[in-house]
Amino acid sequence: MPADATLLDQWFDRGLAIAPDGPALSVGRRTLTYRALDEETSALAGPLAAAGRRRVGILAAKSVTAYAGFLAALRAGACAVPLAPDAPTERLRAVAEAARIDALVVDATGTAGLPALLPLLDPEAIIATDLTDLPPGVPIRRPGSPGPLSTPPRCSHDLAYLMFTSGSTGVPKGVPIRHRNISAYVGAALARHTLGPGDRFSQIYELTFDLSMSELFLAWGSGGCLCALNRLQALAPARLAGQRITVWHATPSLAASLRIAGRLLPGCLPDVRTTIFCGEPLTTGTARAWRRAAPGSLIDNLYGPTEASVACTGHIWEDHDDHDARGDGENKANLVDRGDRGITGSENDQVDSSADTVVSIGEPLPGVRILVVDETGAPAETGELCLSGEQVFTGYLDPAEDEGRFLDHGGHRWYRTGDLVRRGPRGLAHLGRTDTQLKIQGYRVETAEVGNALRAAAPGAEVAVLAVAGDSGPQLVACLMGGPPVAQADVLRRAARRLPAYMLPRLLWWVPQPILNANGKVDRPYLRRVAERRLASMQSS
């Protein structure tokens, strides 16, 4: 059966067939075989299927209930809607209302958020398995007994799950992903690597973050064991080694945080043989540090928006990539064209031999089509990346969100990612976001170029460059995270060798560790709030 015709839960069935008595899930002190997890799933799927539920909220995290509940929703013919138990009440309710959930699977971590959802649901539609403190008056509906399910016919065009991302209006934006979309990714990703029973996969992301779909279904699709890790375990290589993790999924920022903390010691992750980075730009400094820590590991740098089902391009990083990049012009920290400010080549424009570059995001996965367009929508070597193919969704949950996000070209409908790329000898170089191109004092500025200059000026630091509103228009600010403590004046002086004055941050500050959100990405909204306060203080004084 072609991958894109496979239902998402059938990847678990594949693991069940490969290794029925092998470990499928390790969570806390429990390890479940495929057969045992299958029984847990069927017990939850029974009442969902019997009631004909169509949108099932999963208000659970890092528990047997969370994983079995997600599979159960799929098996019952419903669309799974992961919900964050620790989300603010208003956001939790907004997501549930937008998704129009008609059932809920909840574990002990979800009890605090349950009162906000009770008005939306028939109490009989709430399935609780291991709750310790239910709100008064809420009946406990226990899972049924494992057995044959009666479900309507299913096909790969049905919705598999709904993910919600930040919306430009402040309202969460629903991204519906069909079975064929995500299964096309799972099939392509499994084909990139040699995985199987005996592999132990890290599971770091919350189910509300679409990269978790890669963790779950690459593990189960290969007959491996999914190992749920808490944040403490994810940030401690010794604990990872104790879990005998062989396949590691992570955002680059999480690995960079380990590097900066001095925890990525040479050879500290001897069992890891496959590393999959995704979600953010990966620097060669972090890739090199990871290679030293896990010398036997392949490093796969993936790229993709939620709208394209986890990841749609990839590049297998080799040690010599960053050296080659400095000579071919593709990856001079992925600099954008400087022609608009009239700088001629000089020694100050050369990339330092010690400076980190950004790892290529590579070539499209099988079945993915890419198109790079300029500001007019015409094909170009450098411009906005557009995507088409089986992995790409057909539109947002709210059709109003589709405006401006699609274009028609060459007989295909293309999703506009908002990401700037350049074609190069190793595939696509990621240059940043289209919305990071600013006008500062009338000049066009790309924040990725500023970040790369600061990275070269402060070796060992991770860099976040932001634009915030100032008293005279948009202002560039930057936070250096990790590396040796640095003086702002010294960094700006070194950066000034590569950047004109208008591209130097007005505000620059240093923190000892990367500031990450719950999904292991740099917490840019938090940094923006800090920058706004600091900038306001500067302007008032």
In a domain, 232, yes or no: no
In a domain, 295, yes or no: no
Task: Report the predicted TM-score, pTM, of the whole model to 2 decimal places.
Answer: 0.82
In a domain, 253, yes or no: no
CA atoms within 13 A on the CB side of 244: 6
Position with higher pLDDT, 510 vs 335: 510
Q: In terms of Cα–Cα distance, which of 520, 535, 541, 524 is closest to 256?
A: 520
In a domain, 84, yes or no: yes
Cα–Cα dist 104/130, whole Å: 14
Give CA 286 to chain center in angstroms. Answer: 17
What pLDDT score does 153 carry?
85
CATH number of the CATH domain containing 89: 3.40.50.980
Check whether 165 has a pLDDT greater than 50. Answer: yes
What are the backbone angles phi and psi of residue 138, rounded to the nearest 5°? -90, 120
Give the tokens for residue 505.
């941050």
Average pLDDT (127-151) is 67
Burial readout 345-362 (b: 16 or more C-beta within 10 A, e: otherwise): eeeeeebeeebbbbbbbb
Would you call 257 helix, strand, or coil by DSSP?
helix
Average pLDDT (67-92) is 94
Cα–Cα dist 473/366, whole Å: 44
Least confidently predicted of 76-85, 269-278, 522-531, 532-541? 532-541
How many CB atoms lie under 10 A from the CB of residue 191?
A: 11
CA separation, residue 388 to residues 178, 307, 338, 392, 423 (Å): 15, 11, 31, 6, 17
What pLDDT score does 91 carry?
85
Average pLDDT (429-452) is 74
Would you call 42 helix, strand, or coil by DSSP?
helix
Residue 33 domain boundaries: 3-131+153-203
What pLDDT score does 341 carry?
27
Q: What angle do CA 87, 186, 23 make, to 5 degrees?
A: 80
Average pLDDT (16-45) is 97
What pLDDT score does 270 carry?
95
pLDDT class for 147, splitting at 50, 70, 90? low
- The answer to whether 182 touches 209, Cβ cutoff 8 Å, is no
What pLDDT score does 441 carry?
58
What pLDDT score does 242 carry?
86
In a domain, 511, yes or no: no
Cα–Cα dist 203/197, whole Å: 16
What pLDDT score does 241 carry?
83
Give the tokens for residue 350.
């050369």
Q: In terms of Cα–Cα distance, which of 296, 279, 462 is closest to 361?
A: 279
Check whether 530 has a pLDDT greater than 50. Answer: yes
Check whether 364 has a pLDDT greater than 90. Answer: yes
Cα–Cα dist 387/34, whole Å: 36
Please give the share of the chain, as a percent, with pLDDT higher than 90. Answer: 61
Number of domains, the chain:
1
Q: Which tens digit of pLDDT belongs to each residue from 290-340?
A: 999 999 999 999 999 999 999 999 999 998 775 444 333 333 333 223 223
Cα–Cα dist 347/330, whole Å: 18
Q: Which tens digit of pLDDT belongs to each residue from 176-205?
A: 999 999 999 999 999 999 999 999 999 999
What pLDDT score does 474 carry?
72
In a domain, 258, yes or no: no
Highest mean pLDDT: which range of 264-278, 475-489, 496-510: 264-278
In a domain, 169, yes or no: yes
Q: How much is the CA Rg of the chain, to the nearest whole Å?
A: 24
Least confidently predicted of 30-39, 389-398, 443-452? 443-452
- The answer to whether 128 touches 109, Cβ cutoff 8 Å, is no
DSSP 96: H
DSSP 497: T
Q: Which tens digit of pLDDT belongs to each residue from 9-20?
A: 999 999 999 999
Query: Exposed (0-12), middle (13-18) or buried (19+): which is 78, by Cβ within 10 Å?
Result: buried
Least confidently predicted of 290-299, 388-397, 519-528? 519-528
In a domain, 148, yes or no: no
What pLDDT score does 446 carry?
74
Cα–Cα dist 276/301, whole Å: 6
